Amino acid sequence: MIRFILAALMLVTGPAVAQTPPHPLVIAHRGASGERPEHTRAAYDLAIEQGADVIEPDLVLSKDGHLIVRHENEISGTTDVADHPEFAARRTTRTIDGVVTTGWFTEDFTLAELETLRARERLATLRPGNTAFADETILSFQQVIDIARAATARTGRVIGVAPELKHPTYFASIGLPMEPPFLEALRMNALMAADSPIMVQCFEVETLRSLARSTDAPLLQLMAASGGPADQPGMTYAAMATPDGLAEIATYADAIGVETAMILPRDASGASTTPTPLIEDAHAAGLKVVAWTFRAEDPFLPTDYRGDLTGWLKRFYALGIDAVFSDFPGVAVEARTHPLP
């Protein structure tokens, strides 16, 4: 049986209640991040209010080994760290997965220090309304689990969590392996089973292989339209998306999470073209398929769907997608209610 959150969802707290999961699942990408600063309590609460089935936190590590919810370990673009004179000397340059980056990094701060920071909107030019939410604190992984658990009890709907482990090979290289604290968090929260309301994501292959040996929790291999896993030199996502590559992924994961262009490529003008066979090939390999990321702003949409996020979502729903990541979960839920014929 495929171990995946779509197959069987259970309540996070209290007695198990059988429910038919919605389809496709709507995963709030960093919360309702199109309308609130990403990875904040405000973003997660709004996403749940809008009907999201799953909330997504990206995970990095603090200096003292705590799992912190941030898009990247470099935090100058998503926090007010630059406004804290006491942290000015910690600005530095690091190479993360081959990319040279200058800024402030979570691994140089304790959890207590990170809790003194406030979140900031990462895409302020595109989402100026989000800049009004300037007092949101930085969350830990446990706090996001608690948000989902409380919402499940409050709404009677199962609210899943889809954590993404960011840069695990890098963190291991500096003496901060992610897997031990992550697995401990799963154990403490009874999220180790195949039917747990969780979906663990990573772009790196060996991290997922390692987790597959330690937990039955559903695993998702992330892939992009270009490049390849940081921990697998010479391997490309394109090769992983072939029938042979998908069969290999199915030996350790339950699903793939792919960039929309891997399903509906875009031509030179930026318009969407003919679908690839990826959804059918993945289903044939026993894998569910999740597409990322659905955003309302025109720079993120193909030219033939500018101003029409609903239509873009419905196009994927009609292709048989199993779940979507969206910055606008309310739109994704509404599109699911009235799909294309």
C-alpha to C-alpha distance for 187 and 191, rounded to whole angstroms: 6
Q: What are the CA-CA distances from residue 110 to residues 66, 252, 335 (Å)?
A: 8, 33, 42
- Tell me if residue 323 falls in helix, strand or coil: strand
Catalytic residue among 23, 29, 84, 167, which?
A: 29
Output the six-digit token pair for 157. 């709907």
Nearest C-alpha neighbor of 138 from the set 158, 159, 110, 164? 110
Please indicate whether residue 71 is annotated as part of the active site. Answer: yes
Catalytic residue among 39, 71, 167, 283, which?
A: 71
Q: Are strands 92-96 and 99-103 parallel, antiparallel or unpaired?
A: antiparallel
Output the six-digit token pair for 102. 């200058």
Q: What are the CA-CA distances from residue 9 to residues 41, 90, 316, 340 (Å)?
A: 23, 43, 23, 26
Output the six-digit token pair for 292. 């990322």
Given its phi and psi angles, is residue 81 left (phi above 0), alpha (psi -120 to 50 degrees) or beta?
alpha
DSSP secondary structure letter of residue 268? T
Which residue is listed with tokens 């049986």? 1
Run of H or E residues at 331: helix 329-337
**What backbone phi and psi angles, to 5 degrees, belong to 335?**
-65, -35
**What backbone phi and psi angles, to 5 degrees, belong to 302?**
-65, 155
- The Cβ of residue 62 has, within 10 Å, a number of other Cβ atoms equal to 24
Give the residue numbers annotated as catalytic, written as ranges: 29, 71
